[in-house]
Amino acid sequence: MKWITRERPKIDRIACPWLIRRFVDRQAEFIYVPYSEVLEKAKELDAVPFDIPGVEFTHYNEQCTFDYIVKKYSIDDPAIAIIAGIVRGADTDRHDIAAESAGLWAVSAGLSYNITDDYKLLESGIVLYDALYSWATHLHKEKHLQNSPFENLLHEVYQKFLAEKKPNKKTPPWVKELKEMLQDQIDTQFNFDLRQISNDLELNPSYLSREFSKYFDDLNFGDYIRKLRIEKAVSLIENSSYSLTEIAYMTGFSDHSHFTRIFKLQTGRNPSAYRKKSPKK
Q: Could you tell me which residue, 240 or 254, shows the higher pLDDT?
A: 240
The angle subtended at Cα 63 by Cα 199 and Cα 192, nearest 5°, is 25
- Provide the pLDDT for residue 132: 97
User: Whole-number mean pLDDT of the chain?
Assistant: 87
CB 158 within 8 A of CB 166: no
**Distance between CA atoms of 120 and 241, rounded to whole angstroms?**
53
Q: Where are the domains of the chain?
A: 2-139, 171-281
pLDDT at 248 over 60: yes
Architecture of domain 171-281: Orthogonal Bundle (1.10)
194 pLDDT more than 90: no
Q: Could you tell me which of 185, 180, 277 has the C-alpha nearest to residue 237?
A: 277
User: Which pLDDT tens digit goes with each residue over 77-97?
Assistant: 999 999 999 999 999 999 999
Higher pLDDT, 194 or 281: 194
How many residues are recorded in the chain?
281
Enter the DSSP assignment of 135: I
Nearest one of 253, 269, 214 to 98, comparing CA atoms: 253
Determine contact, residues 51/24, Cβ cutoff 8 Å.
no
**pLDDT at residue 148 above 70?**
no
Helix (H) or strand (E) holding 29: strand 29-33
The amino acid at 70: V
pLDDT computed for residue 168 by the predictor: 57
Biggest CA pair distance of the chain: 69
Q: At 163, is the pLDDT very low, low, confident or very high (cuts 50, 70, 90)?
A: low
Amino acid at 104: L
Dist. CA 137–CA 219, nearest whole Å: 24
- Cβ contacts of residue 24 below 8 Å, gap of 6+? 69, 73
